[in-house]
Amino acid sequence: MIREIAQKYENVQKGVGEIMGGALIETEARTILNQGKSEGISETKKKTALRMLKIGKLTIKEIAECSELSMAEVEQLARLQIM
């Protein structure tokens, strides 16, 4: 039973790929997924940098190095903290 389902799935996947350019569709889906992951990682880095800024013991350069953000990004976050 499982083999039949798997075979049907493979046939459908192959057919879709041939008709609709499945590789292109898969690539677009992966691109969207990767963008989402990247944005999530970026948000985490920003939150980390904000916590470091609140502590107030590190320089902008040190925070940038630790959070893997650019100095400009950390400076922008620091300015937002002041407002």
Q: How far is CA 32 from CA 22, 26, 36, 37, 45, in A?
A: 15, 10, 6, 9, 20
Distances (CA, A) of 58 to 16, 64, 69, 74: 54, 10, 14, 12
Q: Give the separation between CA 76 and CA 82, rounded to whole angstroms.
A: 10
Q: Is the pTM of this model over 0.75?
A: no
pLDDT by 10s per residue, the chain, length 83: 666 665 666 666 665 556 555 555 567 766 666 666 667 678 888 899 999 999 999 999 999 999 999 999 999 999 988 76
Domain that holds residue 52: 2-82
As for how many domains the chain has, the answer is: 1
Evaluated on CA atoms 36, 37, 41, 44, the torsion sign reads positive
